[in-house]
Amino acid sequence: MCRKLFSLIEIVVGLQQIAGAFYDTSLLMLVQDRSQSNQTNSATSGNRAQQHHDISRFYMIYFNLLRISSLPLTYYLSDRGDKDSNRKITICVPLLGYLVSRPLLLFVILFDWPLEVMFATALVNGLTGGSSAFRAGVMAFASDTSSEEKRSSRLNRVKLAYGAAAMLGSIASGHLFIYFTTSHNLDAGLMVISFIFYLLTYVCSIWGLKSPPNQTQAGYPGYGRLLDEGHQESDSQAADGAESESTTWDEDQSERSRLLSDPRTREKPRGDGSVDKTTIALLFAAGVLYCFGLSGALDVLPIFVLKYPLNWNAVWVGYGNATGYALFLTSFLGVLSFSKWLKDTSLIVMGIVSFSTGMLIMAFVKRTFLYFIARIMMIFALIPLPTIRSVISKQIKDTSYGKWFGLLEICLTISGVIASTVFHSVYGSTKEMYPSICFGVSTAISCLAIIPITMVERRLSSPPRFPEN
């Protein structure tokens, strides 16, 4: 039973997220502490604006290094996972990077190394694939081990594992940070816990996860694979005589009629050569626009809560992160509840509207309770991206999941890099006048993603068109 439990991809995701939550809290509080120390020792002591400018600048460089350096290996690992029919390589290599790079924060804390050392951590982490390759591998693994009917639910369940584990880690890390500080152990204890969880994650990914069967032999029956099997059957029986040929013809026609009448396979293409690239491009565009608004706002949010008017400490930061991670649960429940009545495209639009509404409220936040009201309005904010991946997976062959998910992660990563630079610049130039204006910008950009999704719905609802033989 225990061995079967640790063979689930959700367990690997959960352990990785708990480790990441401890690391993120430790890094944020260290950056804030170093920034305060620099201001105290300088002629501009008490200059809050300069302090938050330093924090914003650090995170912009850190995240951009992490994201850009991960691009080359993300596609290579994803493509290699497709060719070798081994998804574990796309999961284990990034986890090894986490295990090697992130403990450097412990040395920065204990030996008072310069904060710039963390840029090397980001670079090493990125060069091993980082979160981009890890997410692509996880989503490809989950798609391989789920049927088309349950794929949206399965991918959102993986997202739920992300959120539930990170929520627990965030709450625990905030309180443990206060404990370690008052015990004169600083926040090095958080990094020790983080390292232990990263080690457990890597062990589970190596010895716990079982690679899905070869997609072309034992995968879930996609449209392309069924047609290939039908052609192989016809070839092998071609010399069996007139009676056998007649039987085979009837069976092929029956199978063809069944496939054409199945609404789930009408959207499936006839192999990679006939992939509806327009639909894929529209889905990519929607994902990029939504990711731009989402990641840009979320990059600024940790800095915003530390500044006036909220002025949060480590405990409130932990609670704030926990409410953000709770969105994984509410989004999963939303998919579970509404997928019976709504199409995938409708679920995506519902999530976009939910996030945009919450960010619009966040643009007017002056007190802590308004922050949590804004978070409540975002209850379905994490539905769009997993559901977009689900729709993409239904348009391609199962042997191409890694490649397409890798390309999507690269596009989302580039979008995140640009968003981080733009939103930090907007925040830096408006933090004295109106610090939350960037959340209004996020609302406008996210709403634009509805346009390509509407076009996708029209294309998927149109009568199926198959190429002539």
CATH number at residue 406: 1.20.1250.20
DSSP for residue 399: G
Q: Is residue 260 part of a domain?
A: no
**């284990």: which residue's tokens?**
92
Q: What is the pLDDT of residue 48?
A: 67
Radius of gyration of the chain (CA): 24
Q: Which pLDDT does position 273 carry in this prediction?
A: 47
- What number of helices (H) and strands (E) belong to the chain? 21, 0
**CB burial of residue 46 (10 Å; 0-12, 13-18, 19+):** exposed
Phi, psi of 111, rounded to the nearest 5 degrees: -105, 10
What was the pLDDT predicted at 233? 44
- What b/e sequence results for 120-155 when a residue is b if at least 16 CB atoms lie within 10 Å of its CB, and e otherwise? ebbbbbbebbbbbbbbbbbbbbbbbbbebeebbbbb
Tracing tokens 């300088």 back to the chain, one arrives at 42
How confident is the model over 420-469, as pLDDT tens digits? 889 988 988 888 888 899 999 999 999 999 999 999 999 988 765 544 44
Q: Supply angle C-alpha 8, 12, 16, rounded to 5.
A: 165
| Assigned domain for 76 exists | yes
Q: What angle do CA 461, 462, 467 make, to 5 degrees?
A: 125
Residue 74 inside a domain? The answer is yes
Q: Locate 294 and state its tokens.
A: 């989402």
Residue 311 structural domain:
2-39+46-207+277-460
User: In angstroms, rounded to a whole number, what is the distance separating the alpha carbons of residues 242 and 248?
Assistant: 10
Q: Scan for tokens 């953000």, then name that residue.
A: 324
The rounded distance, in Å, linking the Cα atoms of 128 and 137 is 13
pTM to 2 decimals?
Answer: 0.74
Q: What is the pLDDT of residues 313-354, one digit of tens each?
A: 877 887 887 788 788 889 999 998 998 899 999 999 999 999
Q: Does residue 238 lie within any of the structural domains?
A: no
Mark the ranges of the chain whose per-residue pLDDT is less than 50: 43, 45, 184, 215-249, 251-273, 466-469
Cα-based distances in Å from 37 to 34, 44, 49, 51, 60: 5, 11, 14, 9, 20
59 touches 31 (CB < 8 A): yes
C-beta separation of 279 from 134 below 8 A: no
d(CA 109, CA 107): 5
For residue 384, whether the previous peptide bond is cis, meaning omega lies within 30 degrees of 0, is: no
Tally of domains within the chain: 1
- The set of residues, in sequence order, having a beta carbon less than 8 Å from that of 129 and lying 6+ positions away, is 70, 73, 74, 77, 90, 93, 94, 97
**DSSP H stretches of helix in 305-393:** 314-338, 344-362, 368-377, 384-393
In 3D space, the residue among 378, 373, 388 whose CA is nearest the CA of residue 357 turns out to be: 378
DSSP element (H, E) containing 58: helix 48-69
| pLDDT score, position 183 | 54
With a CB cutoff of 8 Å and minimum separation 6, the contacts of 432 are 49
Furthest-apart CA atoms within the chain: distance in Å: 96
